[in-house]
């Protein structure tokens, strides 16, 4: 039960983008991007994500 | 939060099933129940029919279509290849190209495609009775809308997530690209105007609704500051705070409504509200996204998923009887909500929920950049549209469980039934839908409103329907709260569409002007931002203004115009898909997109023809313009109407030429597609397919399992 709840919580965090920064850090670590330029701060990361999200059509009727 | 899970649990039938469930016998059972339910709905005459049949019919249709038709298209026609690397995998950059869990992509895609359209369209189309709209929502979605979304998503995925306009240019030629661009811009303008009108009509002289909707702005800004500065990126925390504040704002509206001094502040007429919305649209378009648009979008998405789930649960628990007849006398074109016969106007009125061209822009933008594997295309492209179609079915139920007399009293404009309550009820009762002044007064009082007469646009009647459903299940005493909750819920995502649309329109305009003067394309140069935002707001503001001053209720003009524009965009997307199918040697399967395309050409063409040539004053633009000019010249108009008549006449001409323009653009794209197809079949040179070559998928099954795969 506890495991199920934990997975549900994880799913909700994933769906809402709550864990996006953690995944970004993981991505940087696994792809060794940090070797060239260090990962963005949490604030800067969300800023960039927001701008990317709202520069195109992502809501319709 | 668990509402999201409930929401997704609608679709267990849509998940590719394990072997034990796919026994032919079971599918035979689904088919039989589905056929019985659809048959029961279609052949029912006279006796009351239960809403549960609509839900059963819809779920059975969707399950069969998803299991057989969608699966066949994916495997045989598109030849979805799960060994092929998707753009998200090949171009992964941690920002826009990110391989993502398919349920998460499904959630994002659904949140992007499902706006207020599937709620408003079916409500308006209910004037023909429950049957035509319901059948079109089911058939249109399964054979048209879902196919359009899925093939567009597929073709865009194979082209690194290119936009529809870019694909049209690459595959059909410059004409297709330009048409898609212009189509997108005009549809945006008309969509925003009509949605603005829906909100204005919901807030007109309703201090409660006006307060609640206004309160959503500071709440969103608070959430924005929280997410940006106080606790960056804590999306769930901030959204929870926001949702709680929104619910407080709904209750607070009731308190404002009861306080005579505050009440006057929020008691506004239509025109003032329209100006407020324009001012707001301009402010929202130039304000940074993090402050208003992004946080409000989070709130509206949570509200949307939560409320739709709640509605589904309430409908199943309550399973109310449908009170609207299967067909009303208004199929002859005399309907009070909008003029025009059943054919073609039911197919124009219900765009979202059956087939919506706008979806092809989302399916060719953000979504293809997130797909972890091509095999998710069926679930996301086809499945998400099925869910939207289900939302449209629920809106149809919510409209038709009302007493038909009440439904028409709320939705008929004053120009149609008269401004006096007694006059209106007499007229509606004479149509065969009995209703009384007392009944309407009682209802308005229960909902916490001064009056519910002539609240056109669909939102108030949907809110009354939802409030009575929620009220019966979760407690009658809270009817007024439920009503204003429903209004807030509709307004919040209408406003999101409004600012997101204005922003996109601004970007498109900046891009276009950038070709003439490169400085204009700089999206952070303030003069350019201000000028282009003002132009976009002026464009939709004009239609909104005319819609508000038109005594016949602008919905009668604007909604069909929006429907025609949206179906035109769908036809362009289907042209692109058909062209690609023919060019890639799949002529024998091209009917999957050519059939819905042909239907759209017939429907849009007929509707446009009637809009231009009909002598019915409520249908034909030219007829109405001539009639009004003649009356104005002869001095037959009352002073108030004579003052606005020149504006109305100008607008009718403008609408007529706009319709003509849409049809011409559509025909040019279709001809372009036919030319490319014919050349390809005859072996003449055509634009080459722009598909990206096959790269093997490097993700192991284990990695895919990590993305939440079964």
pLDDT digits (tens, 9 = 90+) for B190-236: 989 999 999 999 999 999 999 999 999 999 999 999 999 999 888 89
Q: Is the pLDDT of residue B13 over 50?
A: no
- Tell whether A33 is within 8 A of chain B (Cβ): yes
Would you give the distance in Å from CA B10 to the centre of its chain?
A: 20
Q: Do B358 and A60 touch (CB under 8 A)?
A: yes
CB-defined contacts A:B, below 8 A: 112
Q: What mean pLDDT is predicted for residues B256-282?
A: 94
Report the alpha-carbon distance of residue B98 to residue B165 in Å, rounded: 23
> Which residues of chain A does B1 touch, with a Cβ-Cβ cutoff of 8 Å?
12
State the smallest CA–CA distance between residue B220 and chain A in angstroms.
15
Q: Is the pLDDT of residue B709 over 60?
A: no
Q: Do A60 and B356 touch (CB under 8 A)?
A: yes
Q: Do B366 and A56 touch (CB under 8 A)?
A: yes
> Which residues of chain B does A53 touch, with a Cβ-Cβ cutoff of 8 Å?
294, 366
Percent of chain B with pLDDT over 90: 75
Q: B12: pLDDT confidence band, cut at 50, 70 and 90?
A: very low
Q: What is the pLDDT of residue B5?
A: 38
Candidates A20, A21, A54; nearest CB to B503: A54
Q: B115: pLDDT confidence band, cut at 50, 70 and 90?
A: confident
Report the alpha-carbon distance of residue B410 to residue B455 in Å, rounded: 5
Please name the helix (run of DSSP H) or strand (run of DSSP E) that holds residue B49, with its range, or none: strand B49-50
> Which residues of chain A does B365 touch, with a Cβ-Cβ cutoff of 8 Å?
56-58
Q: Are B238 and A50 in contact (CB under 8 A)?
A: no
Helix axes B342-349, B555-583, angle to 10 degrees: 80
Q: What mean pLDDT is predicted for residues B292-311?
A: 90
Report the alpha-carbon distance of residue B345 to residue B350 in Å, rounded: 9
Least confident of A46-55, B149-158, B396-405, B635-644: A46-55
Q: Do B233 and A47 touch (CB under 8 A)?
A: no
Locate B67 and state its tokens: 């299991």
Helix axes B293-318, B235-258, angle to 10 degrees: 70
Q: What is the pLDDT of residue B22?
A: 62
Nearest residue of B to residue A22 by CA position?
B233
pLDDT digits (tens, 9 = 90+) for B668-682: 999 999 999 999 999
Contact map slice: B 488-547 vs A, CB within 8 A: 496-497, 500-501, 503-504, 507, 523
Contact map slice: B 565-584 vs A, CB within 8 A: 566
Q: Are B479 and B250 in contact (CB under 8 A)?
A: no
Q: What mean pLDDT is predicted for residues B269-285?
A: 94
> Which residues of chain A does B195 touch, with a Cβ-Cβ cutoff of 8 Å?
61
Please name the helix (run of DSSP H) or strand (run of DSSP E) that holds residue B706, with its range, or none: helix B701-706
pLDDT digits (tens, 9 = 90+) for B381-418: 999 999 999 999 999 999 999 999 999 999 999 889 99
Q: Is the pLDDT of residue A15 over 50?
A: yes
Candidates B233, B293, B352; nearest CB to A54: B293
> Which residues of chain B does A48 touch, with a Cβ-Cβ cutoff of 8 Å?
95
Q: Is the pLDDT of residue A31 over 50?
A: yes
- Tell whether B362 is within 8 A of chain A (Cβ): yes
Q: What is the pLDDT of residue B200?
A: 94
Would you give the distance in Å from CA B677 to the centre of its chain?
A: 31
* DSSP letter for each residue of B322-341: E-S-SS-GGGGTT-SSS-S-
Percent of chain B with pLDDT over 70: 95
Q: What is the pLDDT of residue B701?
A: 60
Q: Do A58 and B293 touch (CB under 8 A)?
A: no
Collapsing DSSP to helix, strand or coil, B696 comes out as strand
Candidates A13, A43, A59; nearest CB to B112: A59
pLDDT digits (tens, 9 = 90+) for B123-132: 999 999 999 9
Q: Is the pLDDT of residue B543 over 80?
A: yes
- Tell whether A29 is within 8 A of chain B (Cβ): no
Least confident of B61-75, B146-160, B504-518, B607-621: B504-518
Burial of B297 (0-12, 13-18, 19+ CB in 10 A): buried
Q: What is the pLDDT of residue B476?
A: 75
Q: What is the pLDDT of residue B706?
A: 54
* DSSP letter for each residue of B585-653: T-GGGTHHHHHHHHHHHHHHHHHHHHHHH--STTT-HHHHHHHHHHHHHHT-S-HHHHHHHHHHHHHHH
pLDDT digits (tens, 9 = 90+) for B573-605: 999 999 999 999 999 999 999 999 999 999 999
Q: Do A12 and B4 touch (CB under 8 A)?
A: yes
pLDDT digits (tens, 9 = 90+) for B463-489: 999 999 988 888 777 899 999 999 999
Q: What is the pLDDT of residue B493?
A: 81
Q: Do A12 and B236 touch (CB under 8 A)?
A: yes
ipTM comes to: 0.89
- Tell whether A43 is within 8 A of chain B (Cβ): yes
Report the alpha-carbon distance of residue A57 to residue B356 in Å, rounded: 15
Report the alpha-carbon distance of residue B599 to residue A39 in Å, rounded: 52
State the smallest CA–CA distance between residue B182 and chain A in angstroms.
15
Q: Do B5 and A47 touch (CB under 8 A)?
A: no
Q: Is the pLDDT of residue B73 over 60?
A: yes
Q: Do A50 and B356 touch (CB under 8 A)?
A: no
Report the alpha-carbon distance of residue B225 to residue B468 in Å, rounded: 37
Q: B23: pLDDT confidence band, cut at 50, 70 and 90?
A: confident
- Tell whether B112 is within 8 A of chain A (Cβ): yes
Sign of the Cα torsion B420, B426, B431, B433 reads positive
- Tell whether B358 is within 8 A of chain A (Cβ): yes
Q: What is the pLDDT of residue B17?
A: 47
For residue B529, give every residue at least 6 positions away whose Cβ sits within 8 Å of its Cβ, in sequence order, or none: B286, B506, B510, B523
Q: What is the pLDDT of residue B221?
A: 94
- Tell whether A5 is within 8 A of chain B (Cβ): no
């Amino acid at each position: 039960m506890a495991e199920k709840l934990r997975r549900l919580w994880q799913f909700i965090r994933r769906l809402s983008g709550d864990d996006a920064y953690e995944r970004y850090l993981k991505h940087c670590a696994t792809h060794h991007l940090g070797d060239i330029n260090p990962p963005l701060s949490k604030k800067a990361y969300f800023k960039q994500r927001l701008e990317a999200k709202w520069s195109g059509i992502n809501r319709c009727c | 939060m668990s509402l999201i899970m409930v929401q997704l649990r609608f679709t267990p039938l849509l998940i590719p099933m394990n072997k034990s469930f796919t026994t032919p016998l079971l599918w035979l059972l689904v088919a039989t129940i589905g056929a019985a339910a659809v048959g029961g709905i279609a052949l029912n005459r006279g006796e009351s029919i239960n809403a549960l049949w609509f839900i059963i019919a819809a779920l059975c249709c969707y399950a069969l279509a998803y299991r057989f038709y969608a699966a066949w298209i994916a495997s045989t026609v598109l030849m979805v290849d799960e060994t092929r690397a998707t753009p998200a995998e090949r171009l992964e950059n941690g920002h826009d190209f990110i391989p993502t869990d398919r349920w998460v992509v499904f959630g994002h895609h659904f949140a992007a495609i499902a706006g207020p359209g599937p709620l408003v369209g079916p409500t308006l189309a209910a004037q023909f009775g429950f049957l035509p709209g319901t059948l079109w929502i089911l058939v249109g979605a399964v054979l048209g809308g879902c196919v359009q979304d899925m093939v567009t998503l597929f073709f865009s995925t194979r082209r690194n997530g290119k936009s529809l306009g870019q694909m049209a240019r690459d595959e059909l030629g410059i004409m297709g690209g330009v048409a898609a661009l212009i189509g997108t811009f005009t549809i945006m303008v008309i969509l925003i105007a009509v949605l603005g009108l829906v909100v204005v009509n919901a807030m007109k002289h309703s201090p409660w609704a006006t307060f609640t909707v206004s309160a959503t702005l500071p709440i969103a800004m608070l959430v924005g500051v929280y997410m940006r500065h106080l606790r960056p990126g804590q999306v769930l925390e901030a959204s929870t705070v926001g949702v709680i504040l929104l619910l407080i704002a709904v209750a607070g509206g009731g308190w404002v409504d009861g306080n005579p001094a505050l009440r006057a502040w929020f008691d506004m007429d239509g025109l003032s509200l329209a100006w407020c919305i324009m001012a707001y649209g301009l402010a929202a378009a130039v304000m940074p996204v993090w402050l208003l648009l992004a946080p409000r979008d989070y709130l509206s998405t949570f509200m949307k998923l939560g409320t739709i789930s709640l509605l589904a649960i309430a409908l199943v628990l309550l399973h109310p009887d449908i009170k609207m007849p299967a067909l009303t006398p208004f199929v002859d074109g005399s309907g009070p909500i909008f003029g025009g016969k059943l054919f073609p106007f039911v197919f124009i009125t219900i765009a979202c929920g059956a087939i919506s061209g706008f979806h092809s822009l989302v399916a060719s933008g953000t979504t293809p950049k997130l797909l972890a594997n091509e095999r998710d295309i069926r679930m996301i492209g086809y499945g998400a549209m099925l869910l939207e179609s289900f939302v449209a079915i629920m809106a149809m139920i919510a409209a038709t469980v009302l007493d038909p007399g009440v439904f028409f009293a709320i939705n008929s404009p004053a120009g149609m039934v008269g401004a006096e309550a007694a006059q209106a009820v007499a007229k509606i009762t004479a149509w065969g839908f009995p209703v009384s002044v007392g009944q309407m007064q009682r209802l308005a009082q229960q909902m916490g409103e001064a009056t519910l007469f002539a609240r056109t646009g669909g939102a108030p009647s949907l809110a009354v329907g939802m409030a009575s459903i929620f009220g019966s299940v979760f407690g009658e005493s809270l009817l007024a709260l439920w009503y204003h909750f429903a209004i807030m819920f509709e307004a919040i995502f209408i406003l999101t569409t409004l600012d997101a649309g204005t922003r996109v329109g601004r970007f498109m305009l900046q891009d276009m002007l950038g070709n003439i003067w490169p400085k204009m394309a700089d999206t952070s140069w303030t003069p350019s931002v201000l000028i282009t935002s003002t132009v976009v707001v002026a464009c939709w503001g004009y239609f909104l203004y005319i819609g508000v001053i038109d005594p016949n209720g602008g919905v009668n003009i604007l909604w069909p115009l929006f429907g025609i524009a949206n179906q035109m965009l769908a036809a362009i997307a289907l042209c692109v898909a058909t062209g690609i199918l023919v060019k890639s040697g799949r002529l024998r399967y091209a009917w999957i997109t050519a059939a819905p395309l042909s239907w759209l050409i017939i429907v849009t063409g007929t509707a446009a023809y009637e809009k231009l040539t009909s002598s019915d004053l409520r249908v034909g633009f030219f007829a109405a313009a001539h009639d009004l000019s003649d009356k104005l010249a002869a001095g037959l108009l009352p002073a108030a109407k004579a003052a606005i008549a020149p504006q109305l006449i100008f607008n009718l001409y403008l609408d007529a030429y706009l319709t003509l323009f849409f049809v011409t653009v559509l025909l040019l794209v279709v001809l372009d597609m036919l030319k490319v197809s014919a050349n390809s079949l005859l072996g003449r040179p055509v634009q080459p397919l722009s598909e990206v070559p096959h790269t093997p998928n490097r993700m192991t099954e284990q990695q895919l399992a990590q993305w939440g795969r079964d």
